[in-house]
């Protein structure tokens, strides 16, 4: 269901779920610090994107 109505939204949400799952697994291991750093960086990028988009009137 990648093509058609809702296909892009479905793909983005599935990607986010896979990313969250991978981070959850990594938080249980010895690479916890790297997972925290990557999650924090992702949060900052997403927040910047939403802020910029809202300022431009795109959302």
Give 17-48 pLDDT, tens digit per residue.
Answer: 999 999 999 999 888 999 999 999 999 998 99
**pTM for the full predicted model:** 0.64
- What integer pLDDT is reported at residue 12 of this predicted model? 82
By the 10 Å C-beta count (0-12 exposed, 13-18 middle, 19+ buried), 18 is classed as exposed
Mean predicted confidence (pLDDT) in 8-25: 88
Q: Residue 5 above 50 pLDDT?
A: yes
Q: Residue 3 above 60 pLDDT?
A: no
Q: Residue 11 above 90 pLDDT?
A: no
Q: CA 3 to CA 8: how far, in whole Å? A: 7
């Amino acid at each position: 269901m990648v093509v058609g109505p809702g296909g892009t939204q479905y793909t983005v949400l599935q990607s986010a779920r896979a990313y969250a799952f991978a981070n959850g697994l990594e938080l249980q291991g010895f690479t916890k610090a790297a997972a925290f750093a990557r999650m924090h960086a992702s949060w900052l990028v997403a927040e910047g994107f939403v802020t910029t988009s809202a300022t431009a009137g795109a959302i």
